[in-house]
Amino acid sequence: MTNEQIVEILVKKGIITADALAGAGKLNPKQADRFLDYVFDLSKLKNIARMVKFSPESMEIDRIGIGDRVAWPKALAKAPQVRQGVSHSKIALTPVEVIVPFEIGQVYKEINIEGDKVEDHIVQLFAKQFNNNLEQMYIRADTLGEAVLEGDLIDGGSTTGYIKDPLMALITGWLRRADASNLVDNGGVNVSDSTFGAMLRALPEKYKRDLDQMVFLAPSNLEQLYRERTGTRATPAGDEARSSRGRLTPYGVTLDTIPLMQFYPTIVEHLTMPGGATPVSLRYNPVLAGSDVVTLQTLDLTPTLPYTGGGVDYTFDDVNGTITPAAALFGANVKVTYQAFPQVLLTVLNNLIVGIGRDITVERARDIYSLTDQWVMHAKVAVQIENDEAIVKAHSIGDDI
């Protein structure tokens, strides 16, 4: 969908226009629900994840379990000696606050061909990009906070100094949470049927009865690699993979894509270096060559030059996924940011949860000195996995066919 189409639909639906705001900039409940539904529908996550709307500061989702064994032998004229109880547990959705500040100059409004309507247009575009940023958070965020060039986040920022990405440090995203689930190490081997077969074997037996409710989630480029590999077969499936964009179904399970899921996922680890030149293993191997950035764990919003690899401050082994300190880093507590090889999730539909608070504000203020309209969007979001047991994560998948 083009930006123009998005704008047209939003205008028709009356979502976030300059005249649609409630008092003090806070959307009323109907406006908030309409905005949340529409923004979530724009996301590819709408067919994969479950959105939970909440009004209080936090929310708990109930889980009910009955155990694996509920059937027992029936003795004649005797009551059963065992009665299976029902267990209850809760998943907490703890929201974090996010804000989108921007401004629109009076001169720009006057010379733009859309005139005064350009303001609504720009607000709606910021709302769409707001959703994209949130989706990136849901997928890859890690509270350790990855190191990123300041210039990649802020116009005019440093092109050599790194800062901790404050948005990606707010929550723990699905990929990081899935590290506590069932893991499959693909060992750097390229994606194939064997990759998906290993994931299905790693899935607990009780979830295999409903494979039609399962889905593989992969980056777009990894799906393309698997499509190209499948297309080499001299079979109807090979012809279908080459000649259409129909969904692939390895072993009968739908392979879906999340466009904002990175092909080379960004990983951040906090490590304590040894007191000598001893290699320290990272969480994943291999690692994308040249993607390593090493700083102190205390990295914040002040642009800081990273440590130098190549044996100066440390040596990085991309193939084996290790870092070996030089004398300058002996005993240091460091943040290591790098890009791992592709990853895939296997999960039950709607097992991934997005929590969004209804207390949304969209406010505008006029700066009479700079002749600008200053806008700010404010929301509260949370992310969770309902059932860790019902998810499999494959990592270290090769990046070729």
Residue 127 sits in a domain whose CATH number is 3.30.2400.20
368 lies in some domain? yes
401 lies in some domain? no
Name the residue among 336, 329, 172, 330 with its Cα closest to residue 270: 336
Both 109 and 145 in one domain: the answer is yes
Q: What is the pLDDT of residues 281-333, one digit of tens each?
A: 999 999 999 999 999 999 999 999 999 999 999 999 999 999 999 999 999 99
Does position 39 have pLDDT exceeding 80, yes or no?
A: no
The distance of Cα 302 from the centroid of its chain, to the nearest Å, equals 25
- What's the mean pLDDT when you consider all of the chain? 83
pLDDT band at 67 (very low <50, low <70, confident <90, very high): low
Give residue 68's pLDDT.
Answer: 58
Does position 180 have pLDDT exceeding 60, yes or no?
A: yes
DSSP letter (8 states) at residue 74: P
Please state whether the peptide bond connecting residue 29 to the residue before it is cis, i.e. omega within 30 degrees of 0: no
Does position 226 have pLDDT exceeding 50, yes or no?
A: yes
Please give the residue range of the domain that contains residue 277. Answer: 266-339
> What domain count does the chain have?
3
66 lies in some domain? no
Higher-confidence position of 353 and 64: 353
* 396 within 8 A of 185, measured Cβ to Cβ: yes
Does position 334 have pLDDT exceeding 60, yes or no?
A: yes
Both 135 and 196 in one domain: the answer is no
Which own/partner contact pairs does 365-370 have at CB distance under 8 Å and 24+ positions apart? 367/103, 370/105
Number of H helices and number of E strands within the chain?
9, 20
Distances (CA, A) of 65 to 68, 87, 236, 348: 9, 5, 43, 16
Both 183 and 164 in one domain: the answer is no
Both 236 and 320 in one domain: the answer is no
Both 36 and 14 in one domain: the answer is yes
Both 28 and 131 in one domain: the answer is yes
224 lies in some domain? yes
Both 52 and 140 in one domain: the answer is yes
Does position 64 have pLDDT exceeding 70, yes or no?
A: no
64 lies in some domain? no
Both 294 and 251 in one domain: the answer is no
Q: Compute φ and ψ for 169, nearest 5 degrees.
A: -100, 0
68 lies in some domain? no
DSSP letter (8 states) at residue 306: P
Both 253 and 292 in one domain: the answer is no
Arithmetic mean of pLDDT, 383-398: 95
Higher-confidence position of 132 and 390: 390
Higher-confidence position of 17 and 385: 385
* 51 within 8 A of 42, measured Cβ to Cβ: no
Q: Compute φ and ψ for 211, nearest 5 degrees.
A: -65, -20
CATH at residue 249: 3.30.2320
**Which stretch, 75-79, 86-90, 191-195, 378-382, has highest mean pLDDT?**
191-195
Does position 394 have pLDDT exceeding 70, yes or no?
A: yes
361 lies in some domain? yes
Does position 341 have pLDDT exceeding 50, yes or no?
A: yes
Both 208 and 126 in one domain: the answer is no
Both 103 and 205 in one domain: the answer is no
Please give the structure tokens belonging to residue 179.
Answer: 């590290």
Name the residue among 133, 126, 29 with its Cα closest to residue 381: 133
Both 291 and 214 in one domain: the answer is no
81 lies in some domain? no
Give residue 80's pLDDT.
Answer: 67
Taking residue 39's Cβ as centre, other Cβ atoms within 10 Å add up to: 23
**Considering the entire predicted model, what is its pTM?**
0.82
